[in-house]
Chains A and B, each alone.
Chain A
Amino acid sequence: MVLGVGTVLVIIGAGLAVGLSALGAGIGVGIAGAAAAGVTAVDPDKFGMSLVFQALPQTQGIYGLLIAILLLMSTGVLGGTPEDIPVAVGLAALGVGIAVGFSGLSAIGQGIAASNGVAVAGRDRSAIGKGLVFSVLPETQAIYGLLVAILLMAFTGMFTGVYTIADAVGFAAIGCGLAIGLAGLSAIGQGITAGAGIVASARKPEVMGRALIFAVMSETFAIFGLLIAILIMFGIGLIGGA
C-alpha cells in the first residue's frame, strides 16, 4: 500500500481530531470524576447521579472520534482501499482536525462546571437538573468546532469524493480550524462561570436565569472565532459565490 502526501495529511488530521479532543475529554472527566468520588464517598447512593455528571465531558472525545472516523473513511484507510487524496484536501483535513481537536479542549471547562454540579447535586437532589444545564453550556464551543469541521468536509468534497479545491484553499482551511479551535478554549472560562452559576442558583433558585446570562457571556468569543471561520470559508470560495 502506497500512501500519498494528501492521505498522510488526512491521517494526521484524524490524529489531531481524536488526540486533542480526547486530551480535553480526559482532563474534564478527571476533574468531574474527582468531585464525583468525593460525593460518592460521603453517600454511596449518589454513585449513579455522579456518573452522569462525570460522563458529560466525554462528548468532546466522541466528537473527535467521530470526525477521525469520518476522515479515515473518506480516504479509504478505514472501511475501504486507501485512495490518492490531493494535498489540498489533506491540508483541509488538517484544518478539520485542528477545529475539532482544539475545540474539544472545551471539555476541561465542562469538567470544571460538572464538578460543581456533582458537588451541589450531591447535597441537594433537586439541583440535578439545573446542574446538568449549566454543565452542558461549555460544550457549545465543541459543537461550533464540529460544525466548522463538517462544513469544511462537505465543501472540500470529503463526503462525495469529488475534489476540486486548490492547494491555497487547503491552507486557508487550516486558518478556519485555528479560528474556531482556539476560540473554543473560551469554554474553560465559561466552565468556571457556569460552575459558580450552579452554586448561586442552588443557593437562590430564582437567580438561575441571571446566572445563565453570566455563564453564556464567554461564548461570545467562541462566536467571534466561528464568525471568522465562516468568513474565511466565504472568502476562499467554499461558501457562497466569492
Chain B
Amino acid sequence: MFLPLEMKKALIGIHEDYKPAVIAALHEAGIMEIAGIRESRSDIAAMLAEEERSPELDRCAKNIQRLSAILDAMREARGIAPVSAKDILFPAPREKIPVQRRTLHDICLDVKKILPETRHALDLQQEIARIRERFGKLRIYRETMGALAPFDIDIGYLGTSGYLDIIPVSVEKPAFEEFAVRLLGAGTGGCTVTSVPSDGMHIAIISVLHEDIDRIRPLLRDPAVSILEYEAAAGTPGEVLGRIESECRDLAAREEEITASLAAIDEKYGKNILSLLEELTIEKERMLTYLHLGRTAKTVVLEGWVAARDTDRLEEICMAAAGGNGFVRFRDPAEGEEIPIEYNNPSWLRPFEVVTTMFSRPRYDEIDPTIFTAPLLIIFFALMLGDAVYGALIVLIGWILRNGAGTFSPPVRDAGTILMVAGGATVVSGILQGGYLGDFLPRFFGIAPPFVLINALESPVRFLQIALVIGVLQINLGLVIAAYQNLRKKQIRSFITDQASWFMIQPAAAIFLFSFFSWAAVPAPVQWAGSALGIAGVALVMQRQGPLGVFHLTGFLGDWLSYARLLALALATGGIAMTVNILTQMVAGDHPLQIVAAMAVFVIGQTFNFVLQTLGAFIHSLRLQFVEFFGKFYQGGGKGFQPFMVRRDVTKLFGDD
C-alpha cells in the first residue's frame, strides 16, 4: 500500500514449436509486460538471434484493412443515431459475440468467405460519395439559377460563344455602382452589364468581346465580386431549376436505396465482421510480440516484467502451454533498470490512484502518496465547498455515473465513486458550516440550521486558523514521509538539510510569532533556545541550497499561507450563494411575474455557483496536494505497468463470462 507492487524480471525459454501456444496463453493471462530481449541487459541477449517477421503478419494486417474498410462503409450508411440523455447516463449493456478459440488460418478462412458477400459495400460507399458530391454542386447551381431567375434568358447563352463571353456575377450592393463604372470604363470595345438588385447583392450579367476579356479580369477578382457557378444547360433559369430539383429527388431516392442496401449488409454481416476484426487484431498483437523475442536454433526466449505475487502463476501457465518443454527463471530488478510501476492499493483506494497518476506515478523505490492524498483531497474539497445541498447533488451525480455508464467503464465508475465520497463529505461539512444553498434557510424561513460548528462568513478568522493548522499538519506529514524515505535509503545528509532543518525552523518560528505578536508570554530562555534553533535550521537550509535558500524560506511560508485558500473558497461558496439569495429577495414581489423572475434568478444563480465552486474546490484541493504536499517528499516519474493482455470489447471466448 505504501510502495508500488514488487516486480520481478522473468526469463522464459521454450521449444519453438510451442511459441504460439505460450504467447497465446500469456496474452490471455495478461500478467506479464514483455520487453525486447535483444535490447535488454540480459546476459544471454548477445547470444540470441532476431526472431523473423512472420509472413502471416502481413496477411493478418491486409485482412484487417479490408474488413475495416467494409465496416466503415456500413457505418457511414448508418450515420449518427440520435442519442438521448438516458442512453448517455444509463447505456444499455452491449451483448458480446461468443467466439471459439481458433487458429489464424481458421479466422482467415472465415474472412475469405465473408469478403465476396460484403465487398459490394465498398462500391455502394463510392456511389454515395459521388451522389453527395453531385448534391453539393446542384445546391450551388440551384442558387445560381435562383439568382438569375429575374433575367429570363436562356442559360445556354452563358459562357463562351463565337465572339462573346457572357459571365453571370453577384456584386455586393455598396460596391456595385463603382464596379459598373470601372467595368464600362475599362477600355473595352463593347461591354454590357445587365443587373437586378437582390438581397444585399446585385446580380449582373456581363457581356464582353473575347478580345477584351483580359481587360475586365482584374475587376472580377475584386473581393466584392463573385462569379456565379453554373452547369451548361438549355432553357430559362426557371426550367433549369425544375430539372435540378428533379435530379435532386432522383439522387435522394438513390441514396436512400443504397443506404438501405448497406444497412441490410450491416444487419446480416456487421456482427460477424466486428468479431473477425477483433480476433484478427488479437492475432496481430501476438505476432508483433514475436518480434521482441530472441532465438537459438530450436529455442525461443522471451523476457519481461511480472508482479512478484504472479510468478508462480506465470510459471504454471508457461509450462502448461509448452507441455513442460521449457524453463522460467525470475530475478530481482537490477540497478538502473526502468521498472514498470503497478499500484499496490486496496480496492477502496484504487479510484483515487487516478489523482496520483495525474501528477506522475511513483518511482519503484518511492512511497505511493495515494493513501495520504485520498482522504486529504476529500476533506479539503468538503471544507471548500461546505454546502449540504451542493454535496447531496454531487452524491446524486456520482451515483448516476457509477450505476449508469460506470457499469461498463471502470474510469467512469471510479469518477462516480470519488464524486459520491466527496459529495458525502461535503454534506457533512455543509451541515457543520450551516450551508444549505448558502443562507437559504435563515433568510427565507427564519430557520437557524442545527449542528453548526463554524461558518466561514461569520467567523472567518477562526476558519483561517483552522485552515493554517491543517496546512501545518499536511506540510509536516510530507516532511515526515520525506524524512522516512531518506532514512530508509540511509541518506542522512539529505535528511538533516532537507527535513530536520525545517523541524528546527518551525518551532523557532512559532516561538518568534508568539513573542512578536504578544499572543503569549514566552520566557527569555525559551526565546533564546528558539533563536538558536532557528538560526541553526536556516544555516542548514542555506548551506544546502546556497543563496537560493532564501527562496526556500519564503517558499515554505508561501506553502503554509496557501492553505488560506480553504477559507477563500469556503467564503466564495457561501458568499455567492448568499448574494444569489439576496438578489432573489430583491426581485421577488407579489406579482406572479416577479415570483417567476425571482425563481429564475434563484435557480440560475445557484446552478452557476454550484458548477463554478465545485470545479474550484476540486482544482484547489488538487493544487494543495500537488504543490504544497508533494513538493515536500514526492518526485514521481515512474512508467506504468502495461501487461501483454487481450482486450475483448465485442467478443467473448466460449466459457469466459
Q: Which residues of A contact B (CB under 8 A)?
A: 52, 55-56, 58-59, 62-63, 65-66, 69-70, 78-79, 129-130, 132-133, 136-137, 139-140, 142-144, 146-147, 150-151, 153-154, 159, 205-206, 208-209, 212-213, 216-217, 219-220, 222-224, 226-227, 234, 239-242
Whether A223 and B360, one on each chain, are in contact in the complex, defined by CB atoms closer than 8 angstroms, is no
* Residues of B contacting A144 in the complex (Cβ-Cβ under 8 angstroms): 561, 564
Sample (29) of A-B pairs whose CB atoms are under 8 Å apart: A58-B612, A59-B612, A65-B576, A69-B578, A69-B579, A129-B622, A133-B619, A143-B565, A147-B464, A147-B561, A147-B564, A147-B567, A147-B568, A150-B460, A151-B464, A206-B636, A208-B360, A209-B360, A209-B630, A209-B636, A212-B627, A213-B631, A222-B558, A223-B554, A223-B558, A234-B516, A239-B517, A240-B518, A241-B518
With both chains docked as a complex, state the minimum distance between the C-beta of B397 and any C-beta of chain A, in angstroms.
Answer: 15
Whether B558 and A62, one on each chain, are in contact in the complex, defined by CB atoms closer than 8 angstroms, is no
With both chains docked as a complex, state the minimum distance between the C-beta of A239 and any C-beta of chain B, in angstroms.
Answer: 6
* Residues of B contacting A136 in the complex (Cβ-Cβ under 8 angstroms): 619-620, 622-623
Q: Which of B517-567 contact A (CB under 8 A)?
A: 517-519, 551, 554-555, 557-558, 561-562, 564-565, 567
Q: Check: B634 CB closer than 8 A to any chain A CB.
A: yes
Q: Check: B270 CB closer than 8 A to any chain A CB.
A: no
With both chains docked as a complex, state the minimum distance between the C-beta of B408 and any C-beta of chain A, in angstroms.
Answer: 19
* Residues of A contacting B517 in the complex (Cβ-Cβ under 8 angstroms): 234, 239-242
With both chains docked as a complex, state the minimum distance between the C-beta of B634 and any C-beta of chain A, in angstroms.
Answer: 7
How long is the Cα–Cα vector from A145 to B579 in the complex, in angstroms? 20
B599-613 interface mask toward A, CB cutoff 8 Å, 1 = contact, 0 = none? 000000000000010
Q: Check: B637 CB closer than 8 A to any chain A CB.
A: yes
* Residues of B contacting A132 in the complex (Cβ-Cβ under 8 angstroms): 619, 622
Q: Which residue of B lies closest to A209 (CB)?
A: B635
How long is the Cα–Cα vector from A205 to B359 in the complex, in angstroms? 8
* Residues of B contacting A69 in the complex (Cβ-Cβ under 8 angstroms): 575, 578-579, 582
How long is the Cα–Cα vector from A151 to B626 in the complex, in angstroms? 27
Choose from A63, A130, A159, A219 the contact partner of B558 (Cβ within 8 Å).
A219
Q: Check: B615 CB closer than 8 A to any chain A CB.
A: yes
Q: Check: B92 CB closer than 8 A to any chain A CB.
A: no
Q: Which of B347-390 contact A (CB under 8 A)?
A: 358-360
Choose from B360, B460, B555 the contact partner of A220 (Cβ within 8 Å).
B555
Choose from A78, A137, A153, A227 the contact partner of B623 (Cβ within 8 Å).
A137
Choose from B516, B568, B576 the contact partner of A146 (Cβ within 8 Å).
B568
With both chains docked as a complex, state the minimum distance between the C-beta of A20 and any C-beta of chain B, in angstroms.
Answer: 17
Whether A209 and B464, one on each chain, are in contact in the complex, defined by CB atoms closer than 8 angstroms, is no
Given A63-B572, A79-B582, is A205 in contact with B518 using a C-beta cutoff of 8 Å?
no
The binding surface of chain A is classed by DSSP as helix
Q: Which residue of B lies closest to A128 (CB)?
A: B358
Q: Check: B461 CB closer than 8 A to any chain A CB.
A: yes
Q: Which of B215-261 contact A (CB under 8 A)?
A: none
* Residues of B contacting A223 in the complex (Cβ-Cβ under 8 angstroms): 554, 557-558, 561
Given A147-B464, A151-B461, is A224 in contact with B619 using a C-beta cutoff of 8 Å?
no
Whether B557 and A154, one on each chain, are in contact in the complex, defined by CB atoms closer than 8 angstroms, is no
With both chains docked as a complex, state the minimum distance between the C-beta of A181 and any C-beta of chain B, in angstroms.
Answer: 15
Choose from A65, A213, A220 the contact partner of B579 (Cβ within 8 Å).
A65
With both chains docked as a complex, state the minimum distance between the C-beta of B76 and any C-beta of chain A, in angstroms.
Answer: 19
Q: Check: B643 CB closer than 8 A to any chain A CB.
A: no
With both chains docked as a complex, state the minimum distance between the C-beta of A93 and any C-beta of chain B, in angstroms.
Answer: 16
Whether A226 and B576, one on each chain, are in contact in the complex, defined by CB atoms closer than 8 angstroms, is no
| Top 8 A-B residue pairs of the complex, sorted by shortest distance between their CB atoms | A240-B517, A241-B518, A206-B637, A129-B358, A66-B575, A143-B568, A223-B558, A147-B564
Whether B571 and A146, one on each chain, are in contact in the complex, defined by CB atoms closer than 8 angstroms, is yes
* Residues of A contacting B616 in the complex (Cβ-Cβ under 8 angstroms): 59
Given A52-B615, A136-B620, A240-B517, is A216 in contact with B572 using a C-beta cutoff of 8 Å?
no
With both chains docked as a complex, state the minimum distance between the C-beta of B34 and any C-beta of chain A, in angstroms.
Answer: 23
* Residues of A contacting B575 in the complex (Cβ-Cβ under 8 angstroms): 66, 69-70
Choose from B555, B567, B582, B612 the contact partner of A150 (Cβ within 8 Å).
B567
How long is the Cα–Cα vector from A233 to B463 in the complex, in angstroms? 19
Q: Which residue of A lies closest to B363 (CB)?
A: A206
With both chains docked as a complex, state the minimum distance between the C-beta of B35 and any C-beta of chain A, in angstroms.
Answer: 20
* Residues of B contacting A139 in the complex (Cβ-Cβ under 8 angstroms): 565, 620
* Residues of B contacting A70 in the complex (Cβ-Cβ under 8 angstroms): 575
Q: Which residue of B lies closest to A160 (CB)?
A: B458
How long is the Cα–Cα vector from A147 to B471 in the complex, in angstroms? 15
How long is the Cα–Cα vector from A147 to B464 in the complex, in angstroms? 9
Q: Which of B257-282 contact A (CB under 8 A)?
A: none
* Residues of A contacting B562 in the complex (Cβ-Cβ under 8 angstroms): 140, 143
How long is the Cα–Cα vector from A55 to B614 in the complex, in angstroms? 12
Whether A209 and B631, one on each chain, are in contact in the complex, defined by CB atoms closer than 8 angstroms, is yes
Q: Which residue of A lies closest to B618 (CB)?
A: A132
With both chains docked as a complex, state the minimum distance between the C-beta of A179 and any C-beta of chain B, in angstroms.
Answer: 14
Residue with the greatest number of chain B CB neighbours at <10 A, chosen from A209, A217, A240? A209
* Residues of A contacting B579 in the complex (Cβ-Cβ under 8 angstroms): 65-66, 69
* Residues of A contacting B626 in the complex (Cβ-Cβ under 8 angstroms): 133, 212
Whether B634 and A209, one on each chain, are in contact in the complex, defined by CB atoms closer than 8 angstroms, is yes
* Residues of B contacting A234 in the complex (Cβ-Cβ under 8 angstroms): 516-517
* Residues of A contacting B554 in the complex (Cβ-Cβ under 8 angstroms): 220, 223-224
Whether A220 and B568, one on each chain, are in contact in the complex, defined by CB atoms closer than 8 angstroms, is no
Q: Which residue of B lies closest to A234 (CB)?
A: B517
Whether A55 and B615, one on each chain, are in contact in the complex, defined by CB atoms closer than 8 angstroms, is yes
Given A78-B582, A147-B568, A219-B558, is A159 in contact with B460 using a C-beta cutoff of 8 Å?
yes
How long is the Cα–Cα vector from A78 to B579 in the complex, in angstroms? 10
